[in-house]
Amino acid sequence: MRALTFLLLESGAGMTGADSGKTRLVVGGATIAGLIAAWYIASTTGAIPKLDFPSPEQFVAAARQVVVEPGFADGLLFDHLLHSVKIILLGFFAATAIGVPLGLWMGWSRTAEALINPIFLLIRPIPALAWIPLAIVWLGLDDAAKVMVLWFAAFVPSVINSYTGVRSIDRPIIEASRMLGIGRMAVITDVIVPGALPSIFTGLRLSLQGCLTALVAAELLGAILGLGKVLYQAGLDIYPAMILVGMVAVALTGFVLTALLDVVESRSMPWRKR
C-alpha cells in the first residue's frame, strides 16, 4: 500500500521534474474539493434522493449523534470503535503469533513443509468470510466467534508470506553463516528472521486487512457492539447518513491501523532505506 502511494507520487515527479508533485497536490485537492461541492449541490437540489445518499448536513448531524450523544446502535462511536479494535488486535495477534513461526518453520524444514502443507492447502482456498457461519454455529454471536473468523483471515497470509520470506533468502548467505560456524539458534535469529522480515511484514499487512474485512462482515451478521453493528443497524433503519458515518469510521480505522504497522515495520528494519 505504501508502495503504491510511493509509486503514485514519485513516478509522476520523475517524469516532469520538481514541480509536478505540487501540480499533483493542487489537482488532487481541487478534485476532492470539487467532489464535496458537487455532493453539496446535488443533494440540496435533490439530484441525489435523500433516501439514497445523505446530504453533508445530514452526515454531520449523524456523526454528531453517534460521536457525542445520544449514540447509535447501543453505544457511542468510541465504544463501537474500542470493541472492534480490541477484537481485531486479538484475532491478529493470536493468528500471527502462530502463523509466522509456522511459516518460518515450513520454509526452513522440508520435513515440516511436507507434513503441514497438505493440511494448509485444504484450509487456504476457503475465504475467511466463509468461516463466519461455522463460527456462529460453534460459538454463537460472542466475541469468541469473531476472533475465530479473524484468526483464519490473518493466519493464511502470515504463513504464506513467512514461508516465502525464508525461501527467498539467498542460499549462499545461509551456507556462509554456517561455514563461519555460528550455532543453529543464531542462524535462525540472525539470518533467517531478518532475511524473511520484509516478506513477513507483507504478510502482516495482508493479515491486518483481512482482519478488518472479516470483522466488519462478522459484525454485520450479528453483534452487540462494533463498527459493523453501526452499519447493520443503519442499514436496517434505512438511515443513509449513519451508513456513511459507519463507512468513514471503518476506513479511518483501517488507515490508522495500517499506519501503525508501517511504523513498526520501519522500526524493525532500520537497515532498509525508505
The number of C-alpha atoms within 13 Å of 91 and in the hemisphere containing its C-beta is 31
Give whichever of 69 and 239 is closer to another protein, judged by the CB atom. Answer: 239
State the Cα–Cα distance between residues 254 and 259, nearest whole angstrom: 8
By CB under 8 A, residue 72 contacts another protein: no
State the Cα–Cα distance between residues 119 and 122, nearest whole angstrom: 5
∠ CA(121), CA(123), CA(129), 5° rounding?
A: 140
Give whichever of 201 and 229 is closer to another protein, judged by the CB atom. Answer: 229
The number of C-alpha atoms within 13 Å of 85 and in the hemisphere containing its C-beta is 17
Q: Please list every residue from 199 through 228 that binds another protein, using CB under 8 A.
A: 209, 212-213, 216-217, 220-221
Residue selected from 60, 68, 130, 264 as contacting another protein according to rule CB under 8 A: 130
Identity of the residue numbered 249: A
Q: Fill in the per-residue mask, 74 to 113: x = in contact with another protein (CB under 8 A), - = not in contact.
A: ---------------------------------xxxxx--
Cβ(232)–Cβ(238) under 8 Å? no
109: phi then psi, degrees, rounded to nearest 5? -110, 120
Instruction: Note the residues at the interface with another protein (CB under 8 A).
Output: 1, 4-5, 7-8, 11-12, 15-16, 20, 23-24, 27-29, 31-32, 35, 52-53, 107-111, 114-119, 122, 125-134, 136-138, 166-167, 174, 209, 212-213, 216-217, 220-221, 231-232, 234-235, 238, 240, 243, 246-247, 250-252, 254-255, 258
